[in-house]
Amino acid sequence: MIQQFLLVSSLIIIVGGFLLVWDSPPESFMGKQTGQVEEVPVADSFMTDINSRKFALDGTELFVVTAPRVEFFAKSSTVNLQQPNLSSKGAVKGRDNLNLSANNGVLSGNGKKLLLNGDVLVRIEGDQGNTVLRADNLAYLPDSNIATTNDPFNLQTPQVTLQLFLLQ
């Protein structure tokens, strides 16, 4: 009698285990996958309607940066600017008036590099006339007044118009 009870119990456990495995979804047998989804960075702080000025050692204004929203990320030491506008009024001797605008910008390197993205427009007002540069992306170094891009651009000066396209 005990043997029959053990046999029936073993058979019920085996059939129950089989049915449990059969009805389980495949995901329950797979290990947990970690690291597939990156966490969206959250700004440590933000400001709205900013108007920031940088001055030279002698007190002359070098440039003004305005933006409707600015977000600061301490971990990466970067500042994200929405619709940034940088303007310099030519206070430094030998420099023309400069105006930079874009859809987005990232200020890094303790203010040494400004990366502009989306409908970048650079306007330089000089004695010889206006120069306009349009690009999708642009890196600007405020200290040296140098701009670089690896993307197609359109440069229009009083003397010449230049369009650079990348062939694929």
pLDDT in tens, the chain (168 residues): 778 877 888 888 888 887 777 787 777 777 666 656 666 667 778 889 999 888 878 888 878 889 999 988 888 888 899 999 988 876 445 567 888 899 999 988 777 888 999 999 988 887 778 889 899 999 988 777 788 888 888 888 888 877 776 655
pLDDT of residue 76: 80
What distance in Å separates the CA atoms of residue 43 and residue 46, rounded to the nearest whole number? 7
Q: Give Dmax (Cα) for the chain.
A: 111
Give every CB contact of residue 62 below 8 A, 6+ residues apart in sequence: 54, 55, 56, 88, 91, 92, 142
Single out the residue of 130, 135, 138, 120 nearest to residue 157, CA to CA.
130
Single out the residue of 118, 117, 120, 109 nearest to residue 143, CA to CA.
109
What distance in Å separates the CA atoms of residue 55 and residue 35, rounded to the nearest whole number? 44
CB atoms within 10 A of CB 100: 24
Q: Is CATH 2.60.40.10 the classification given to domain 45-160?
A: no
Single out the residue of 130, 119, 112, 42 nearest to residue 85, CA to CA.
119
Would you state the structure tokens that stand for residue 76, as one six-digit string?
């990466």
What distance in Å separates the CA atoms of residue 163 and residue 152, rounded to the nearest whole number? 7
pLDDT of residue 165: 67
What distance in Å separates the CA atoms of residue 90 and residue 150, rounded to the nearest whole number? 27
pLDDT of residue 1: 72
pLDDT of residue 92: 46
Would you state the structure tokens that stand for residue 141, as one six-digit string?
């170094």
What distance in Å separates the CA atoms of residue 153 and residue 134, rounded to the nearest whole number? 6
What distance in Å separates the CA atoms of residue 13 and residue 63, rounded to the nearest whole number? 79
